[in-house]
Amino acid sequence: MDGEAPRIAVIGAGISGLTCATEIAKLGCGVSVLDKARGPGGRMSTRRVPDLGVGADFDHGAQYFTVRSPELSSRVEQWSSEGVVAPWHGRIVALGPDGVEESSGITRRVVGTPGMNAICQRLAAGLDTRLGVQVSSIESDGDAWTVLDRAGDNVGTFEKVICTAPAPQTEKLLRGIAPELADRAAAVQMQPCWSVLLAFDAPIPVDFDGAFVNHGPLSWVARTSAKPARQTPPDRWVLHAGPSWSEAHLEDDAEPVVEALVAAFFDALDARPSQPAWCKGHRWRFALAQNPLADGCFYDRRLGIGACGDWANGNRVEGAFLSGLRLAQEIERALDR
Q: Omega into 234 within 30° of 0, i.e. cis? A: yes
- Each residue's pLDDT tens digit, 246-303: 999 999 999 999 999 999 999 999 999 999 999 999 999 999 999 999 999 999 999 9
Residue-range definition of the domain harbouring residue 249: 90-108+190-290
CATH number at residue 37: 3.50.50.60
Pair (314, 170) in one structural domain:
yes
Considering the entire predicted model, what is its pTM?
A: 0.95
- Each residue's pLDDT tens digit, 214-231: 999 999 999 999 999 998
Q: Note the pLDDT of residue 55.
A: 87
Pair (157, 228) in one structural domain:
no
Whether 1 shows a pLDDT value over 60: the answer reads no
In this prediction, residue 2 has a pLDDT band, given cuts at 50, 70 and 90, of low
Pair (99, 222) in one structural domain:
yes
- Each residue's pLDDT tens digit, 172-184: 999 999 999 999 9
* Number of structural domains in the chain: 2
pLDDT average, residue stretch 163-180:
97
End-to-end Cα, the chain, rounded Å: 8
* Residue of higher predicted confidence among 10 and 56: 10
Q: Note the pLDDT of residue 3.
A: 59
pLDDT average, residue stretch 12-26:
98
- Each residue's pLDDT tens digit, 83-133: 999 999 999 999 988 888 887 667 889 999 999 999 999 999 989 999 999
In this prediction, residue 5 has a pLDDT band, given cuts at 50, 70 and 90, of confident
Q: Note the pLDDT of residue 104.
A: 65
With a pLDDT cut of 70, the percent of the chain lying above it is: 98
Pair (199, 237) in one structural domain:
yes
**3-state secondary structure at position 126:** coil
CATH number at residue 264: 3.90.660.10
Pair (185, 255) in one structural domain:
no
Residue type, 251: E
User: Is residue 75 included in any domain, yes or no?
Assistant: no
What Å distances lie between residue 272 and 40, 69, 91, 262, 325, CA to CA?
A: 38, 42, 22, 12, 47
User: Is residue 79 included in any domain, yes or no?
Assistant: no
Q: What is the dihedral of CA 62, 250, 255, 52, to 10 degrees?
A: 20
- Each residue's pLDDT tens digit, 196-218: 999 999 999 999 999 999 999 99
Pair (158, 282) in one structural domain:
no
Pair (141, 265) in one structural domain:
no
Handedness of CA 104, 108, 113, 118 (dihedral sign): negative
